[in-house]
Amino acid sequence: MKVGQYIRLINPVNIFPQEMAEKIGSFGIIRGFKYVNYNLITVIVEFSPCCRFWLFYDEIE
């Protein structure tokens, strides 16, 4: 997994409200990583130019 790679959310409705999940879809581009601690990684994913979210590593595939 690297910056610029396309990813797919495993279940966007579990992460976002239904209306938002339908609007942004399940595919995004990785824009960065943040190490919370040695075993927990979050990933910044961009779904559109104005739509970026921090997600836990296990929410994407």
34 in any annotated domain: yes
- Among 41, 29, 24, smallest CA distance to 5 is for 29
Q: Give yes or no for residue 49 having a pLDDT over 60.
A: yes
54 in any annotated domain: yes
24 in any annotated domain: yes
The whole-model pTM stands at 0.63
- The pLDDT, as a whole number, for residue 60 is 63
Structural domain of 54: 6-59
Q: Domain total for the chain?
A: 1
Buried b (16+ CB within 10 A) or exposed e, 11-50: ebeebbeeeebeebebebebeeeeeeeeeeebbbbebeee
- The pLDDT, as a whole number, for residue 10 is 76
Averaged pLDDT of the chain: 77
51 in any annotated domain: yes
55 in any annotated domain: yes
- The pLDDT, as a whole number, for residue 59 is 61
Total Cβ atoms within 10 A of residue 55: 19
- The pLDDT, as a whole number, for residue 57 is 63
1 in any annotated domain: no
What CA–CA distance (Å, rounded) separates 57 from 3? 13
